[in-house]
Amino acid sequence: MGYLPFYLLNNSFDNIFLNFSTGLVLGRKSKPTDSGVEGFVFLGIPYAKPPLKELRYRKPQDPEPFTRLFNATQFGNACLWNSTITNQKLNYTKMDEDCLQINVYTSKKCLLDSDCSVAFYIHGGGYNFDSPMILNESVIVENFAKEGRDVVFVTFQYREGSFGFLNLNYKLNLTADTNVGMFDMLQALKWVKKEISNFGGDPNKITLTGHSSGSNAASYLFVSPKGKDLIHQGLFMSGTRKSPLYVDNNQNVSRIIAIEAGCAFDTTNWDNIDDVEKVIECLKKIEGPQLAAIQGYVETFGLRMNGPHQDFGPNSFFELSVKELMDDPPKVNVMTGTVSEEQADGLSAIEESSNGTKFVNKQKLQVLCQSIFASLTIEHYEPTIQACIEEYSSDLYRTKHIIDDVVFFIPHLNDARSVAKAGGKSYLYQFNYSVPFGVIDFKNNYTFLKTDSPRHSDEIVYLYGLHMGRFGDKERKIAEKFSKIITDFINHGEPTSEEVQWTPFKPSMNNYFVIDFDDNLTMPGMARNYHERANTFWNDIIPKIEGKVEPNFFETNYINLLPLINMIEDNYTYSPIIYPQSYYKNSTPPKIADTLSLGGHNVTLMTLGFSSLEKSNLTKYSHFIYMPVSVRLKNEIFNGLMFDKMWEASQHILLRLLNLNILGEEFLHTCEYIFDQDEITETIRSSHFDIMISEIFILCPLALSTHYGIKKNIFTSPFPLSELAYSYLGLYFPTSSIPTQFLRIEGKMSFSDRMSNYIFYTVESLYLKYVLKGQLQAVYMRKNNGKLIDTEKVFTKSSAIFINTMPFVDFQTPLTPRMHYIGGIALSKPKPLNKFFDNLLSIRKYNVFFSLGTLVYERHMPKSLKIGLFESFSKLPHVTFIVSFPIHNITFKLPDNVYIYDWIPQNDLLHDDRLNLFITHGGQNSINEAVAAGRCMLSIPVFGDQERNSGMILRLKIGHIFNKVNLKNSELLKNTIWETINDKECHKNSKKVQKLYNLFPYKSNEIVLKVTEYIGNTEDFNEIIFDSAYLNVIEFFNLDVIFVLFFLLFIKVLSIYLIAKFLYNQKIVINKIKLD
């Protein structure tokens, strides 16, 4: 043992010093527990070098010696994580990559005698979240440091998520090690073996234990050739080995994280070691919290890091397959078991009819059965799946526990059996005590049902105080009894005592101990035939049906099933399907989808795949129906008006009308493609969606909901609402004061402005109503047996219209109660810039951010404009230009003050006050971001609604406009940039509009959620339909009334005239008679 000062022996001080291989450590005495137990605590001791910079994704290295006294009286940092599958709160002030630290709880007796048993505990969290910090120190001290138990209890932190289990290509010998999270655990175990005697522990009496994924990890250490010789026995709680493991486990999600981080692209060759090494180098440069946030983003899309992957060879963690390791377990004692209810994931396949009767949805049950066999290649696959469905559809309780049977109950039973057969002693248990409400502090409005308890993790509140709530006298006594069972096994290798008569496991009996407590705190004791029916089915019946079985070491089957698994494993209120018409990443519908998903609804996003990245970029929380696009259609869209011809688009009215026709034809072909996807159509129709939310950029969505059999519609607009929509709704669109979507009006309209505006509105309306509408009608009829559809009526009867702007950032147009401003819903809360961009803004006094949006690629831009653009930047050497511009064909040298990146944290950058100007294309989302950030703009509209939006920028005096055709004039652009940077009025007005945005009384996400739920609760929505929508032109403009009034007025005037004339003539006659 190391240095032990005298004052410990007489308990006169609260601190304690220990000396071991890396230096002197300061610990502390714990506060007395309710029963007066005191222990000694050492927290945050490094067991490895901080895995920073080049050590990120590398196996842990031995820690450096301390240069001074190490203070171990408080926790260090938690390892970085960001996960949506837990209600634990993130706290980055306590998180860091410098986190490979160990915590030791010991007693006075152990410190003096140095022969205490050791519990090496691995915390759970699905390999993605949590930390030993969430355990309750007082409960640990009470249960393990109490006199007569004296167990040295060890916890530690290991790298989680992508930091610990990144796997970009298992076939390549990369500088990024794999399974480093497992090697962290191994390193911590080696540290305990070496140093634990200094804390009073016996290095030859280490019990390897954990809970949930921590128990799963412990079971891998238990059989790994690298770990099994370091431990004395094993204690596994609700988690054990999975076999087979995938060799490419996490490969798909790792690559998506790299793509989201801007470190990988469509062109990345994942089988080329140079390409992958560039990805690794890029990932190492990104700040840890940013990477954690990206992982959280990807995870909520349904893609999660799933712990270790199967590796082989002497430098690997496993060396052999998990199955081979399981066939030769250590010949030591093991205590293993579960709680009776566990996770009950099979509840997702149980539904309730209108009369309240519960039944099994066999389609959902089939998906669960398929997921179970995803890691196996089975000779008789169909009969095996059918047997699974029949077995678990006959009994609702069986359905409820289908996943528990194969993840928890049967694996723990098989573990007990294999250890017993190998010569060790097994002690199998099941914790059945129904934990009372309030004992566990649930922070996510968990609905407690007595029949659902004990659920996964409920029992460890009694051992480690996890999520500890209110403990009464009975709960304290249960904690005393349950923890004694655990410490008896740790200390003696068996849980048997005078009170607990526990017989070792016998394979012929499948005997187990039932941990439950009646009112007298008496436990039932031993029972036989642990989960007998499940054991018979999985260990006897299925092997006879499935025939030859081979392990499947690849995650492909599982990845293909994942969307269906995610879809059925959650319970929701409403099921909307959302179709985004737009082709840009930050469009409104995906953000609406995420908002509704977070609100507890089963949202599916249907999208066309114009890019391999779209599937992972569009939504965080929703399910996907993904339509790969043909090369012909992709080329038509990407090489058509919207892209190659965007720089030719003009304000001239005739050219705009011509371009409208081209655009209509392109989108009509898109509609034809969607309608021809028969398999997807049947999938949607059979899913019985409640609401369809679609972007009414063109007429296609007007027919889709009827085609799919969805009765309720919500339409969204990615920019200010189309003038045609007002016509459909029976509202007058004032062309004399409000510009149409594709025209720029900067102030009060002149006569020529009104003329152009009226002509465009009229021709556009006629074209969409009488040309494109008929073409869409033909597409619909072709796929619906010649049935007609009135698209105007569909739009008129829509339940709501969401508009992606704000009332103070738009022209004041007519509104109905169905219209709702949701501008800003696509915006995320700004975060501090990472170190790289923070440093970039500090190079020069002035900083300009240049971005022309998602769709504007450098390769489509004429060379003369490119040259002029970058020449203008070079003429302002005292300004840093941060450019978001995918580069493919730059043949000239870029100026030194220009920094170009494919990906930039745009929202975060705009909110940094060191940024002086935002050069934008004037897209609605970019304007929303600039307004929210209070940033002055220079708009260079390229196509579409950007001209109209730029007119609004001028009208509000929050920016200037530059004509795209003048980009070749570098001197003019330079002067305009410098003038805008120094425009004090622009900066002042931008802050004013930002204040309006921040103080707006209605939040976009709240509007979307509440309006959608309101619509979901209503049968029809006819009460606020404008009758004017069904009026003809004569009725709408009251032409008949005006005519009648005009006619009556004419008759009246004429009558007055005739009477006056008659009287006048009579007067002349009378006067004449008088004269005569």
Residue 666 pLDDT exceeds 80: no
Least confident range of 140-154, 255-269, 444-458, 602-616? 602-616
Supply the pLDDT for residue 215. 98
Supply the pLDDT for residue 124. 94
Residue 1076 pLDDT exceeds 70: no
Residue 1021 pLDDT exceeds 60: no
Are 198 and 297 a contacting pair, CB within 8 Å?
Answer: no
Domain ranges of the chain: 15-327, 334-569, 578-821, 835-1000, 1038-1075
Domain 334-569 matches domain 835-1000 at the CATH topology level: yes
pLDDT digits 0-9 by tens, 294-348: 888 787 667 889 999 999 998 999 999 998 998 889 999 999 999 999 999 898 8
Q: What average pLDDT does this structure show over 981-996? A: 94
Supply the pLDDT for residue 287. 92
Q: What average pLDDT does this structure show over 257-261? A: 89
What sections of 791-923 are H helices per DSSP?
Answer: 791-796, 835-840, 863-874, 906-910
Are 209 and 236 a contacting pair, CB within 8 Å?
Answer: yes
Residue 6 to residue 8: CA distance in whole angstroms: 5
pLDDT band at 137 (very low <50, low <70, confident <90, very high): very high
Catalogue the E-assigned strands of 968-1048. none
pLDDT digits 0-9 by tens, 453-471: 899 999 999 999 988 888 9
Supply the pLDDT for residue 611. 43
> CATH assignment of 15-327?
3.40.50.1820
pLDDT band at 566 (very low <50, low <70, confident <90, very high): low
Residue 640 to residue 644: CA distance in whole angstroms: 6
Query: Please, is 843 exposed, middle or buried when counting C-beta atoms within 10 Å of its C-beta (0-12, 13-18, 19+)?
Result: exposed
Residue 1023 pLDDT exceeds 60: no
State the CATH class of domain 578-821. Answer: alpha beta
Supply the pLDDT for residue 607. 72
Q: What average pLDDT does this structure show over 83-104? A: 79
Average of per-residue pLDDT values in the chain: 84
Helix 251-260 and helix 288-300, axial crossing angle in degrees, nearest 10: 120
Least confident range of 572-581, 724-733, 768-777? 572-581
Supply the pLDDT for residue 630. 55
Helix 773-783 and helix 700-708, axial crossing angle in degrees, nearest 10: 20
Tokens representing 681 are: 């159509």
Supply the pLDDT for residue 807. 79
Supply the pLDDT for residue 477. 96
Residue 140 to residue 107: CA distance in whole angstroms: 11
Top mean-pLDDT range of 65-74, 938-947, 1028-1037: 65-74
pLDDT digits 0-9 by tens, 668-716: 777 887 888 887 888 788 778 888 888 876 567 778 888 888 888 888 8
Residue 602 pLDDT exceeds 50: yes
Query: Please, is 647 exposed, middle or buried when counting C-beta atoms within 10 Å of its C-beta (0-12, 13-18, 19+)?
Result: middle
Please tell me what DSSP assigns to residue 488. Answer: H
Identify the helix (H) or strand (E) that includes residue 415.
helix 410-422
Q: What average pLDDT does this structure show over 175-187? A: 97
Upper half-sphere CA count for residue 142 (Cβ side, 13 Å): 23
Supply the pLDDT for residue 364. 87
Architecture of domain 835-1000: 3-Layer(aba) Sandwich (3.40)
Supply the pLDDT for residue 557. 77
Residue 63 pLDDT exceeds 80: yes
Q: What average pLDDT does this structure show over 1040-1062? A: 86
Least confident range of 105-119, 280-294, 854-868, 1019-1033? 1019-1033
For residue 903, how far is the Cα from the chain centroid? 19
Least confident range of 640-654, 796-810, 915-929? 640-654
pLDDT digits 0-9 by tens, 908-946: 899 999 999 999 988 888 899 999 999 999 999 887 778
Identify the helix (H) or strand (E) that includes residue 987.
helix 984-999
pLDDT band at 573 (very low <50, low <70, confident <90, very high): very low
Supply the pLDDT for residue 620. 57
Residue 446 pLDDT exceeds 80: no
Output b/e per residue, 9-34; b: 16+ Cβ within 10 A: eeeeeeebbbebebbebebbbbeebe
Residue 1072 pLDDT exceeds 50: yes
Residue 1 pLDDT exceeds 60: no
Tell which residue, 139, 651, 687, has the closest CA to residue 361: 687
State the CATH class of domain 334-569. Answer: alpha beta
**Pairing between β-strand 23-29 and β-strand 70-71 as defined by DSSP bridges:** parallel
Q: What average pLDDT does this structure show over 505-518? A: 97
Supply the pLDDT for residue 2. 39
Residue carrying structure tokens 């059989």:
223
Q: What average pLDDT does this structure show over 124-147? A: 94
